[in-house]
Every structure is written in structure tokens, then in C-alpha cells.
Chain A
Amino acid sequence: MKKETMVAVFFGLLFGSIVAVFISFKSKDIELAKNKVIAPPKEKTSFPNTSVIEQQPLVLNEPADRTIVENSVIRLKGSAAKNSLIVIQSPIKELIINNKLEKFDLEFPLALGENSIKIVVYPKEKQFRPQEKFMKIYFIDSKL
């Protein structure tokens, strides 16, 4: 075999092996790229919306349970879900309001002595349960 032929075969084998290695790496990359499509990168992951709509609690800032007052009227101050129905009941008065704003500030009459007052909030979203608060307010006239 001629020397030129030997060199040509050698270079042919070398080139062939380089091409083979290149193709095998390339196919690996293609495979990896395919896998990436199945499991996309974190930053591009979009989870379905699993956040739960929370019910706004009934908060009564004033008055505290078992408060003693010297007036025949008190102010009920607090907050509840917007557009909820608020029902306030005592032995002497019923009050029903549509809570258009979150905060409420309502005047409520008292009888002399013990006043059992129940506040129930019916949320607009019917899937939520009503919320309740019960309190006793004592109207003790200072002139007694």
C-alpha cells in the first residue's frame, strides 16, 4: 500500500470518528431538549390557580362583652365582609342592614339592666357560613 493511501485512510478514519462523536453528542442534546419540554424550567412553570378565597371575619371593636354603660344607647363598631347582611337582635330591638362598606358603626338602644345582643353576618357568597357574635352589655344608670 502506498504511503499516500495510508495517510488518506488514517485521515478518513479520524474524520469519521470525529463526525461519529459529534453526532452522538448532538443526539444527546436533542434528547435532553425533548426532556426539557416534558419538565419545563422552574421559572416557566405555571401552576394552576389553587389559592382559596378567604372569608373576611366578623370583627367587633366596640363594645367589649360585659361592658357597663351609663347611657341607653351604644355604638357597635367593627368590620365584616362587604355586601354581607348583618342582623343584630336584642330583646328590645332588631336591626338588619346591608353592609355596603367593610366597616360598620351602628347605634343600638339598650334596656335598663342586662342586654343580650346577638350579631349574625350572612356573607354574600353563599358558600360561606354565617358568622356570629354574642355579648352582654349592662346599662346601669348612675342615678340609681
Chain B
Amino acid sequence: MKKIIQHCYIVSLLFYLLTNSFVIAQTNTLVPSASASTSPTVAVDKDIQQLKDKIANKVSEIRKKNNKAISGFVLSNDGNKMKINNNGEENQVKFDDTLTKYFKITGAQKKEIKVDDIKKDDYAIVSGVMADNIITANVVLVDENFLVDSGKITEINKDSYNVKVSTSDKNIYSLDIETYTKQYIMNIKTLNLERIGFSKVKEGDTVHFVVKKIFSEKNNNYLAIKILIIPQEYFIK
């Protein structure tokens, strides 16, 4: 009896060992578990995403490095490309249907526009990647062109509210002072800016000015947006 129990024990042990090893072999090779089937996919997806991010970052870095900005008056625009003229230099701009965005700036506001809204003589600011003297535009901004300069007042016409200014590079500007022109004077003691009227402007004063430049202007005659007077007394004291 004792022997029978002993044999039964040995057989059951062998059976257990055999069945257990078979199950282990099955799980590892023949029937993959649910978790084993999904985890490699997740890992691969993660790797792909990381690679995508890396490529996107690299592309963004290269774009940033090669990013240039140019500006000028529009000479022509056929919807695929345009030509702009900035102080006599002609630049070609290529549009990308999927990439290029167009905006019009009015004061501090911007409004998205279409490529066809960009007309001849508009002032365009283009940002994009420059290659072979052609810029592929990322962004096109249609804005106003401002001229900022300074010089000495050489002549004042009190009747027509006009001043003539001679700059250091020997340019003569004729500035019309309008009701909307912001006129400031520097207080020679405090250096603070104070609002003034046209009557305070004197010949011999130094003036810093901002004017809106238009493509067709040839005689250096502009409507002044802003003038800032440095009185001649500051230089005498």
C-alpha cells in the first residue's frame, strides 16, 4: 500500500511537471497573450512619434535658420508668385498653396486675406526661406510703409502748414502738418515729451519725423504722421 502511494505521488509529480512545462511552452510560443500582442505595437508607435517630433524640430530649426524677411512695393502678383521692389532692388516671391498665409495689417489689427487681395503698389512684408534669390513665403503681411528720419528745419510756411527739413544725408523733405499729425517737443530740462501746436515750431530746430511713404511719391513731399522737435536751445545751453 505504501508503495502504491509512493508510485502515485511520483506519477502525479511527473504529470504536474510535464503539464506545467507544456503550459509554459504554450504561453511563450504558441498562444501569445493579449498583453504580449499589444505592447510591441505601443512601443513602435511611441518610437515613430519620437522620430516624427525629432524631424519636425529639425525642420523647424532649419526653417528658422534660413528664414529671411524682405519688404517692398508689389510690382506684380499672378497668384503663384509676385515681384516686389524695395528701393530699386527687385525680389521674387514664390507662394506655397499649403504653407503660405496672407494677412493685412490695419493699425494693431491683422486680418487674414487671400493671395488675390494683394494688389500692385501694395507694401508687402514677406517672411520665408530664401534660395537662389527667390523667397518661398511662409507669411505675407500687407502693411503701410513708414519712413522714419530726422534733420534740421530750414523753412516754415505758416500759411500752408508745411516745413522743409534737411537731413544729414542731404535729402530735403517737405512735410505737411495735418490736424491728425502728432506734434511733440522735448522739454530741454526734463527731456520729457510735451504736445505742441504748429506755432511752436521754429526754423533751426531739429525734427524727428514719421511719414507714410507711398510708391508713387517722387518729390519727397509727405503728410507727417508724427513730429518730434528738439529745440535749438538745447544745443546752445
Contact = CB atoms under 8 A, between A and B. Distances in A.
Interface residues of A, number: 29
Given A68-B127, A134-B148, A112 B210 contact: no
Interface of B is mostly: strand
A112 B69 CA distance: 13
A1 to B, nearest CB: 98
Nearest to A118: B148
A118 B125 CA distance: 19
A94 B125 contact: no
Contacts of B9: none
A132 B145 CA distance: 20
A78 interface: no
Contacts of A122: 230, 234-235
Nearest to A88: B208
Interface string B114-150: 0000000000010100000000000101010111111
Contacts of B143: 113-114
Interface string B78-104: 000000000000000000000001010
Most chain A C-beta atoms within 10 Å of own C-beta, residue among B148, B191, B230? B148
B110 A118 contact: no
Contact of B208 (A94, A98, A111, A138): A94
Interface in A32-67: 66
Contacts of B141: 112-114, 140
B191 A114 contact: no
A140 B105 CA distance: 12
B168 A132 contact: yes
Contact of B146 (A66, A91, A94, A112): A91
Most chain A C-beta atoms within 10 Å of own C-beta, residue among B103, B108, B145, B150? B150
Contact of B147 (A66, A85, A113, A116): A116
A144 B139 contact: yes
B139 A87 contact: no
Contact of B127 (A98, A117, A140): A140
A84 B210 CA distance: 23
B150 A87 contact: yes
A136 B193 contact: no
B225 interface: yes
B42 to A, nearest CB: 32
Contacts of B71: 114, 136, 138
A132 B234 CA distance: 18
Contact of A116 (B105, B146, B168): B146
B153 to A, nearest CB: 15
B73 interface: no
Contact of B149 (A68, A94, A118): A118
B48 to A, nearest CB: 26
Given A118-B149, A144-B110, 6 more contacts: A90-B210, A112-B141, A114-B125, A116-B147, A138-B127, A140-B139
Which 4 A-B residue pairs are closest in the complex by CB-CB distance?
A138-B69, A91-B146, A118-B148, A116-B148
8 contacts: A87-B230, A89-B148, A89-B208, A91-B148, A91-B210, A113-B125, A132-B168, A134-B148
Interface of A: 66, 68, 85, 87, 89-91, 94, 96-98, 111-114, 116-118, 120, 122, 126, 129-130, 132, 134, 136, 138, 140, 144
